[in-house]
A and B are shown apart, each in its own frame.
Chain A
């Protein structure tokens, strides 16, 4: 059973460019979360998918951010017109639909640097 995988692991982009990150959750995990972690802080919730449905979006997710999970498996997070303030680690987590399991399993993250 492989864990959550994220690609790319590192991304350096120039301000104003668009970037897209991919997350592959643990197979058969219906719940998928995106978090953002800035230097020296804990992760902050961005959005949640149950299967292909996006059920919650944080106020942190501005109009420049969009996330999808088209077939209920992998998910993508796109940032348009990147800004220096978008520099952070973007973490993906998954968990099963089982209501008794509330811990989330995290991927290694994608570190974004906007220059």
Chain B
């Protein structure tokens, strides 16, 4: 069975602090995909990143960076110099590929990040 665990329910930081959101996953698939989504108070899930299981290169996009480690089944997300606009719920998600080529996302419970001025 596939499972995603986000152990941090809520994190509170002061603006300009760095913060890391943890994500641990379980899957028996050899090929799978990992995602991070942001859900601001408006409710719409915003896609942030996709990572393939065969590509362990870390990625940086502006203040965002992602650390994928297959050995520990983790896909952590770091925000550098956090800003108030980063306040949201962040979801980590996992998918395999179903025959037919589509994928259904398995989400973690989310981490609520509050960035205070």
CB within 8 Å of B: which A58-77 residues: none
Chain A-chain B contacts (Cβ-Cβ < 8 Å), number = 60
B75 at the binding interface (Cβ < 8 Å): no
Contact across chains for A108 and B44 when beta carbons are under 8 A apart: yes
When C-beta atoms are compared, the residue in chain A nearest to B4 turns out to be A42
Q: How many interface residues does chain B have, given as a range?
A: 20 to 34
B117 at the binding interface (Cβ < 8 Å): no
B25 at the binding interface (Cβ < 8 Å): no
- Known A-B contacts A104-B47, A106-B45, A107-B44; the reply to A45 vs B104 at CB < 8 A is yes
Instruction: List residues of A whose CB falls within 8 A of some B CB.
Output: 31, 33, 35, 40-45, 48, 50, 55-56, 89, 91, 93, 97, 99, 102-109, 111
Q: Report A-chain residues with C-beta under 8 Å of the C-beta of B46.
A: 106
Instruction: List residues of B whose CB falls within 8 A of some A CB.
Output: 4, 33, 35, 37, 42-47, 50, 91, 93, 95, 97-98, 100-110
When C-beta atoms are compared, the residue in chain A nearest to B42 turns out to be A108
Contact across chains for B105 and A40 when beta carbons are under 8 A apart: no
When C-beta atoms are compared, the residue in chain B nearest to A32 turns out to be B102
A–B pairs, 27, beta carbons within 8 Å: A33-B104, A35-B105, A40-B110, A41-B110, A42-B4, A42-B91, A42-B109, A43-B45, A43-B105, A45-B104, A50-B100, A50-B102, A56-B104, A97-B101, A102-B50, A102-B95, A102-B103, A103-B35, A104-B105, A106-B46, A106-B47, A108-B42, A108-B43, A108-B44, A109-B43, A109-B44, A111-B43
